[in-house]
Structure 1
């Protein structure tokens, strides 16, 4: 019967929704090496983060999250047209991933508003770092993860007193990021294209929108703000999440987690190049340590494959 699903599987989308464009996108992402996709996602996330510096004074952290996720959801739904006829497993994975996305974004931006960016990123990395340790099978895995963690700590050394609430928000973001890697991998395996991602981001947008409205109100509709937010949504959500879903289908969660530790290093370079944020020598040492750990992880993963 057309549109029916096997027991326990997702309900198939109508044939009219299987467009050549989306099939080409899925095929193209699957042909790119998974570590390259992770790096592309990192570049997009940090590039978008640099753009958000102009939005904080206008709409606040919750407003940034709401605009970013709502615009990303609109773009992803328009592209993938996921529909609503899915089984309970698909919905549970999509809603779980979307909830983790929303809570991660809200807590991370609240952390950045209270503590230096490096410290917030350090706390955020605890989630992927814990996955790397939990999933390790060889001593080399622990060494690469420890080296990456050391690099992130060095990057966060700014000498600025830490705000306790900011550190707790960062820790919450780290837990959500680790949980998203696990749930996102299952969602990516369950749906071999971007429909699951569109559902997840849409749910995350619905959860974050009330907080954004409470904090920013009608300022969310300012044309200039929307223009910047659109660029942030593409760079920080649509492209990175699409890349990550494709990479998660092929990478163990621990390896994926360590590879994302490139974010502080890439963020430091983008901050230096575009925002004039200079680093101390010990922080550049952290950049080198994180980069080396990621290269080592890629090499190990390639040999295993």
Structure 2
């Protein structure tokens, strides 16, 4: 057995980034675009596998890809390293399952709007400047306008949407912690593997009740790569170089990317209200990034 790797100490306060670099913006955009394309592809498998089946396949594929790339030495993990990994594993599965269940019960608009409350809370809690708070509120208004959530009395569906919000906030914080304690992508890979193990019984039940077709499996596998494996890896490294508040605010771009993917890939038209909402979200993020560059130490 190889020697246990030294634990990476949490980044000291002075080393935590205070501004968002162009590379960080590009990485977050790439992660969000991959996520939305993957989600759109995965929805094509819903008629055969259902939302639960698609989530199960996503977890399996993410685990396989991340394990192959990172090859985590789990036997060498210490208790301090295992703690956030186990929590992240729980968050991985719960986040996807709660969102898809909410979409099934209350629709895409309300589900995505409720889930966005998670990263929005991170952005507001971490901000120390009035301009950042205004940017977060502007982005939130844009998301609500873009998704146009409809009123509903399905409180269970709304509960799943709020659970997704909690999980998304936990995902942001835990991914940063895992990245500070475990080198490379080993922590994310181990968390994805644990999450996939918990979904094995689910996958067996879904396969027996709804035998998958080759096309549905292909769509679900593509969703696993694009909407799980790629974002997990990119977000892990992005959160080492981007402040959590900026990352949380930038997540408001995801509904914009979803709308653009629907427009370009599925032929869903965008009206003037959609254009205004997209402009509000983009303006909020651009303003926040520009201000962070002007006020950052040494910037």
State the TM-score, normalized to the length of structure 1.
0.86
C-alpha displacement of 1:238? 1.4
Number of the residue aligned with 1:137? 128
From the superposition, tell whether residues 201 and 49 of structure 1 become closer, same or farther in structure 2 (CA, over 3 Å). Answer: same
**SS of aligned partner of 2:72:** coil
User: 215-224 or 35-44, which moves further after superposition?
Assistant: 215-224
Q: For the residues of structure 2 that align with 1:78 and 1:203, how far apart are their CA atoms?
A: 15
8 A contact 2:110–2:150 mirrored in 1: no
Structure 2 Cα separation of the partners of residues 195 and 144 of structure 1: 34
Instruction: Please say if 1:110 is aligned against 2:101.
Output: yes
Runs of 4 or more, structure 1, over 4 Å off, are: 158-162, 218-221
Alignment of 1:67 with 2:34, yes or no, is: no
Summarize the alignment of residues 118-157 of structure 1 with structure 2, pairs less than 5 Å apart: 118-157=109-148
Q: How many residue pairs are counted as aligned between the two chains?
A: 283
Partner of 1:235: 226
- 1:89 Cα deviation (Å)? 1.5
Q: Supply the distance in 2 between the matched residues of 1:2 and 1:192 (Cα, whole angstroms).
A: 15
Q: String of CA shifts for 1:206-253, please: whole Å, max 9, x gaps.
A: 223333433443646543322222211111111111111111011121
Q: Does 1:254 align with 2:245?
A: yes
Tell me what 1:24 maps to: none
1:89 is matched with which residue: 80, 83, 108?
80
Of the three residues 258, 263, 268, the one matched with 1:267 is: 258
Does 2:44 correspond to 1:54? Answer: yes
For residue 74 of structure 2, give the secondary structure of its aligned residue in structure 1.
coil
> TM-score w.r.t. structure 2 length?
0.88
The match for 1:226 is: 217
Alignment partners' CA distance in 1, 2:200 and 2:292: 39
* 3-state SS of paired residue (2:254): helix
Gaps of 5+ in 1: 11-30
Structure 2 residues without counterparts, runs of 5 or longer: 9-20
Change over 3 Å in CA distance of 1:161–1:4 after alignment to 2: closer
1:164 and 2:155 matched: yes
Q: What is the alpha-carbon root mean square deviation over aligned residues? A: 2.1
Which gives a bigger RCO, structure 1 or 2 (Cα 8 Å, sep 6+)? Answer: 2
SS of 1:113 mapped into structure 2: helix
| Alignment correspondent of 1:40 | 30
